[in-house]
């Protein structure tokens, strides 16, 4: 008996509203975050993830309100990411009801943040989020919501993150995100083979077979998707049934 | 019915308090020795190591009122709240509360099954013995776990779970119930379990 493969619907939030874009561009409004989170919980989501895109200092209070609103209505693990820069930010989000925080750009600018946060709050609540784009044989890491290219290799950075104390890696393939053409399974397989912490695959879910393949071929421990669940193109239950048919443990 | 959630300054107690509140309970945070008196039922959610937990309970002078409450009031320990009931833990030099005989050990046999530590995620809970707190909950349901240490081989065991080894995922003795899983993070079924605790009559 092993752990269930986790299905994690993601809410991309801006200014207290769910939004959705393609390849990090063309953002459209897609509803109220707490309502969406409640629906996902009822449909069998194993976790909820909320990413505050373009989170800025002015919008912090809105973010906190949204986190509180979701946490008071949804009783499954809840991860919050976006614009987290300091231990103080992490403390505030955990106190507002987040169970885990997802750190992206700030971890690259200041890797000590992962180490300090992991020591203070435990590895189980620190998720290192990475946005990566393939370039030949390697995957480059990008910061600031996919805007800036870095010199970092995604696999190496994930390993470093694990050593620093991250409890999970949330890897988004920028090549696949929003395209609905399937997950970047090569990336996830490489990642899983190099890590001992769980890998959450994100970006590219369009069909049922894509999600199954990310677990079967990519060896992902968890799958994160936004639009297919948001627009009810594929139900969480269907994904789990398909995984179960393939012999994977799921919570149904 | 007045529920108290113990806050010794290290754990995320808010999710437990919120879950209990969502079920319509009156919930107070118990963070000083004097606050134990007015409480009818006590919930102790724990996080971190047994050593730091016992130290903090000593520092806040809550260890004695907590021990008294465990003897007299319906008590629910969650995660570390299960582990501190034991005599000791491999994790820390500090002794536990010694309410239940035995020691807490690190999860074994993880290499055999290529498992990751901590045990984090949804796993099956196998009901070994009938108990009111599991009424209306079917056998082998999924609950949410986050931990690296476990209790094993106790006569008080109510449910077991397999991860590397068979461990005690919940136990009960008289007015005490304790879970290794997090009911407050286990969705609908977790809420059903908490509702059973709220309604539990001893």
Note the pLDDT tens digit of each residue in A85-138: 999 999 999 989 999 999 999 999 999 999 999 988 888 899 999 999 999 999
Most confidently predicted of A119-123, B72-76, B87-91: B72-76
Residues contacting B188, CB < 8 A, separation 6+: none
Domains of chain A (ranges plus CATH)? 12-245 (3.20.20.70)
Q: Which residue has the higher pLDDT, A55 or A214?
A: A214
* Crossing angle between the packed helical segments A87-96 and A112-121, to the nearest 10 degrees: 40
> Is residue B182 flagged as an active site residue?
yes
Active-site position among B53, B147, B184, B195: B184
Please write the tens of the pLDDT for every residue from B126-165. Answer: 999 999 999 999 999 999 999 989 998 789 999 999 999 9
Chain A: closest CA distance from residue B113 (Å): 9
Residue B11 banded pLDDT, cuts 50, 70, 90? low
- The residue among A58, A66, A54 whose CA lies nearest residue A104 is A54
A241 SS3 class: helix
User: Tokens 């600031």 map to which residue?
Assistant: A144
Please write the tens of the pLDDT for every residue from B54-69. Answer: 999 999 999 999 999 9
Test the B interface: residue of A44, A220, A251, A252 with most B CBs within 10 Å: A251
Q: Phi, psi at residue B60, to the nearest 5°? A: -85, 0
Contact B43, B6 (CB under 8 A): yes
Domain range spanning residue B184? 2-199
Is cis: bond before B118, omega within 30 of 0? Answer: yes
CB atoms within 10 A of CB A179: 15
Does any CB of chain B come closer than 8 Å to the CB of residue A198? yes
Whether the per-residue pLDDT at A7 is higher than 90: the answer is: yes
CATH value at residue B181: 3.40.50.880
- The residue among A54, A39, A91, A48 whose CA lies nearest residue A71 is A48
Split into its structural domains, chain B has a count of 1
Question: Which value, to the nearest 10 degrees, does the dihedral of the CA atoms of residues A43, A92, A196, B153 take?
Answer: -80
Contact B144, B182 (CB under 8 A): yes
Burial of B111 (0-12, 13-18, 19+ CB in 10 A): exposed
**How many whole angstroms separate alpha carbon A153 and alpha carbon A140?**
5
Q: Tokens in use for A93? A: 């989000």
For residue A97, give the nearest of B15, B118, B190 by CB distance.
Answer: B15
Question: What's chain A's average pLDDT?
Answer: 92
User: Quick one: average pLDDT of A32-36?
Assistant: 94
Which residue numbers of A are catalytic?
Answer: 12, 131
pTM of the predicted model as reported, rounded to 2 decimal places? 0.92
């Amino acid at each position: 008996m092993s752990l269930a493969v986790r299905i994690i619907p993601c809410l991309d939030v801006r200014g207290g509203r769910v939004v959705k874009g393609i390849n990090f561009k063309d953002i459209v409004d897609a509803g109220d975050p707490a309502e969406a989170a409640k629906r996902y919980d009822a449909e069998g989501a194993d976790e909820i993830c909320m990413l505050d895109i373009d989170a800025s200092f002015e919008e912090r209070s809105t973010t906190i309100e949204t986190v509180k609103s979701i946490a008071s209505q949804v009783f499954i693990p809840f991860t919050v990411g976006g614009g987290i820069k300091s231990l103080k930010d992490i403390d505030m989000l955990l106190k507002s009801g987040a169970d885990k925080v997802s750190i992206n750009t700030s971890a690259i600018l200041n890797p000590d943040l992962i180490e300090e946060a992991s020591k203070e709050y435990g590895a189980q609540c620190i998720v290192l989020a990475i946005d990566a784009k393939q370039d030949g044989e390697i995957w480059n890491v990008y910061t600031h919501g996919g805007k800036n290219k870095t010199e970092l290799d995604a696999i190496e950075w994930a390993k470093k993150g694990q050593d620093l104390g991250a409890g999970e890696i949330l890897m988004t393939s920028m090549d696949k995100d929003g395209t609905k053409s399937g997950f970047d399974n090569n990336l996830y397989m490489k990642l899983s083979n190099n890590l001992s912490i769980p890998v959450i695959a994100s970006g590219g879910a369009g069909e049922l077979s894509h999600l199954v393949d990310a677990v079967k071929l990519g060896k992902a421990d968890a799958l994160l998707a936004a639009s297919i669940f948001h627009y009810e193109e594929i139900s969480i239950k269907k994904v789990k049934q398909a995984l179960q048919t393939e012999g994977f443990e799921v919570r149904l | 019915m007045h529920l108290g959630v113990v806050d010794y300054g290290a754990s995320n107690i808010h999710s437990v308090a919120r879950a209990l509140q969502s079920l319509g309970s009156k919930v107070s945070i118990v963070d000083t020795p004097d606050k134990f008196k007015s409480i009818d039922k006590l919930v102790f959610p724990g996080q971190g190591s047994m050593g730091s937990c016992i130290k903090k309970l000593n520092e806040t002078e809550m260890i004695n009122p907590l021990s008294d409450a465990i003897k007299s009031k319906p008590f629910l320990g969650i995660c570390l709240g299960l582990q501190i009931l034991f005599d000791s833990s491999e994790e820390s030099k500090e002794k536990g509360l010694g309410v239940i005989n035995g020691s807490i050990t690190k999860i074994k046999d993880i290499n055999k099954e290529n498992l990751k530590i901590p045990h984090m995620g949804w796993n099956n809970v196998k009901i070994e013995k009938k108990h009111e707190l599991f009424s209306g909950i079917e056998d082998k349901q999924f609950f949410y776990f986050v931990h690296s240490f476990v209790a094993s081989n106790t006569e008080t065991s109510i449910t077991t779970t397999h991860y590397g080894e068979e461990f005690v995922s919940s136990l009960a003795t008289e007015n005490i119930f304790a879970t290794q899983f997090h009911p407050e993070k286990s969705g609908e079924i977790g809420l059903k379990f908490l509702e059973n605790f709220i309604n539990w009559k001893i």
